[in-house]
């Protein structure tokens, strides 16, 4: 059942709809919260369960370790990253903790500032806010939608350890430029860490070309692989300098020697891995990853741009206010529609078979490549009937 790397752009985005059973019964426009589950992912999961039934622990050695290696390989290729630069962790929170506790002492010396923005997902700031030796700087957004990179350039200086912000802001969909942010950080000798959980899978990436030092993402949302797993990219030049002070056995170079007296980390990004990965999610993630590869990220991005602009136009024409970037090139497939009663609107839409989400003051709609124009039109039509 397991396959090797698949050719890019061999599956039409709309033909891929047949892979996702939820689309047969619902208008699913909530991929920013949870990507739709595919039949491909179900098949991988069924295979995992069958081998658990029939092989027990021996499946680790004959199959499951190979699945881990395959997923890392696929993710690296999809993100445009070098081999050996992606680690698998349970969540973005654990990935951030692993980074925070592994930065070399000589790079920390004299640098105790971490610069974020008020638009970042709270997890990104929580990691640093709880460290008494860190000065956390949270920059305000001038328009409540995005950030001017010059704000980071003015705030980041020789005291800065990390410029830590988002690739795509979770509550506005605004896309930041990874290469620009990396250049700002490196200009003063700081690291650049990007939370890419709302970017990877909907925005094309070539991490090796951006200069970013750390990039976190995972299969939960746009990669359609489910919860319980995160991916941590580390620039290859940094990997040898990272010395973990929190560790798990999967981070050990020779884990199956069970050496208790000495921890020797992997030579690659796996040195920051922790305990036994969530193997069920590894399998569902492989299914989602395979479909994204077959459609091709450029085709996904093009389809999402079309759906996003269609939704923006329809919502504005219907009289709704939007919290979105003025420049369409800075928009992702996260559309924030202002509404006086977001929870009520989401409940009303659900009664009509339309699944979206809400954030303070907004109905959040997130179409993906498997959605249609008709579904976006239906959403706006039903939302018009519930003004709150």
Q: What is the pLDDT of residues 209-263, one digit of tens each?
A: 999 999 999 999 999 999 999 999 999 999 999 999 999 999 999 888 898 999 9
Write out pLDDT tens, residues 151-188. 999 999 999 999 999 999 999 999 999 999 999 999 99
**Average pLDDT for 281-304:** 96
pTM: 0.94
For 200-215, how does the pLDDT look when each residue is reduced to its tens digit (9 = 90+)? 999 999 999 999 999 9
Report the candidate in 16, 13, 39, 17 with the shortest Cα–Cα distance to residue 26: 17
> Which pLDDT score is estimated for 388?
64
Answer whether residue 150 shows pLDDT above 50. yes
Q: What is the mean pLDDT of the segment spanning 352-358?
A: 97
Write out the two tokens for 361: 């003051």
- Write the DSSP assignment of 180-241 as a string of letters: HHHHHHHTTT-EEEEE-TTTTTTS---HHHH--SEEEE-SSSTT---SS-EEEEE-TTTGGG
Q: For each of the domains in the chain, give its residue range(s) and CATH number, in order of start.
A: 15-37+295-384 (3.90.1150.10), 58-292 (3.40.640.10)
The Cα 41–Cα 256 span in angstroms is: 29
Whole-angstrom Cα distance, residue 128 to residue 135?
8
| Tokens standing for residue 263 | 């921890």
In this prediction, residue 88 carries a pLDDT of: 98
pLDDT at 4: 40
Helix-strand-coil percent breakdown of the chain, rounded to 5?
A: 40, 15, 40
pLDDT digits (tens, 9 = 90+) for 90-149: 999 999 999 999 999 878 888 999 999 999 999 999 999 999 999 999 999 999 999 999
Pairing of strands 354-355, 27-28: parallel
DSSP labels, 277-330? --HHHHHHHHHHHHHHHHH-HHHHHHHHHHHHHHHHHHHHHTT--EE--SSGGG
Average pLDDT, the chain: 94
pLDDT at 67: 96
The closest of 46, 93, 19 to 28, measured between CA atoms, is 19
CA dist., res. 74 & res. 69, Å (int): 9
Asked whether the beta carbons of 309 and 317 are under 8 A apart, the reply is no
pLDDT tens sequence across 57-76: 999 999 999 999 999 999 99
């Amino acid at each position: 059942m397991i396959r090797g790397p698949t050719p890019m752009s061999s599956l039409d985005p709309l033909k891929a709809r047949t892979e996702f059973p939820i689309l047969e019964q619902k208008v699913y426009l909530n991929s920013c919260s949870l990507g739709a589950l595919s039949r491909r992912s179900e098949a991988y999961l069924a295979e995992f369960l069958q081998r658990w039934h029939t092989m027990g622990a021996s499946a680790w050695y004959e199959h499951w370790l190979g699945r881990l290696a395959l997923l890392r390989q696929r993710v690296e290729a999809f993100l445009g990253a070098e081999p050996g630069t992606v680690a698998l962790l349970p969540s973005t929170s654990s990935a951030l903790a692993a980074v925070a506790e592994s930065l070399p002492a000589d790079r920390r010396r004299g640098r105790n500032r971490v610069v974020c923005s008020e638009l970042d997902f709270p997890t990104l700031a929580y990691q640093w806010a709880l460290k008494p030796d860190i000065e956390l700087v949270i920059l305000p957004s001038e328009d409540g939608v995005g950030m001017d990179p010059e704000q980071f350039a003015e705030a980041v200086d020789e005291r800065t350890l990390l410029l830590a912000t988002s690739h795509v802001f979770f509550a506005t969909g605004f896309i930041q430029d990874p290469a620009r942010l990396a250049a700002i950080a490196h200009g003063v000798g700081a690291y650049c860490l990007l939370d890419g959980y709302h970017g990877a899978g909907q925005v094309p990436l070539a991490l090796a070309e951006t200069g970013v030092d750390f990039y976190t993402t995972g299969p939960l949302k746009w990669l359609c692989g489910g919860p319980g797993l995160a991916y941590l990219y580390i620039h290859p030049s940094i990997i040898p300098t990272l010395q973990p002070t929190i560790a798990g056995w999967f981070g050990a170079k020779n884990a199956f020697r069970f050496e208790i007296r000495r921890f020797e980390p992997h030579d690659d990004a796996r040195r920051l891995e922790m305990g036994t990965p969530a193997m069920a999610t590894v399998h569902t993630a492989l299914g989602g990853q395979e479909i994204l590869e077959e459609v091709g990220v450029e085709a996904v991005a093009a389809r999402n741009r079309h759906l996003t602009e269609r939704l923006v136009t329809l919502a504005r024409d219907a009289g709704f206010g939007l919290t979105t970037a003025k420049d369409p090139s800075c928009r992702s497939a996260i559309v924030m529609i202002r509404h006086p009663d977001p929870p009520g609107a989401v409940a009303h839409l659900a009664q009509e078979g339309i699944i979206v989400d809400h954030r303070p003051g907004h109905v959040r709609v997130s179409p993906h490549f498997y959605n249609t124009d008709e579904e976006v039109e239906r959403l706006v039509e039903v939302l018009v009937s519930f003004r709150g």
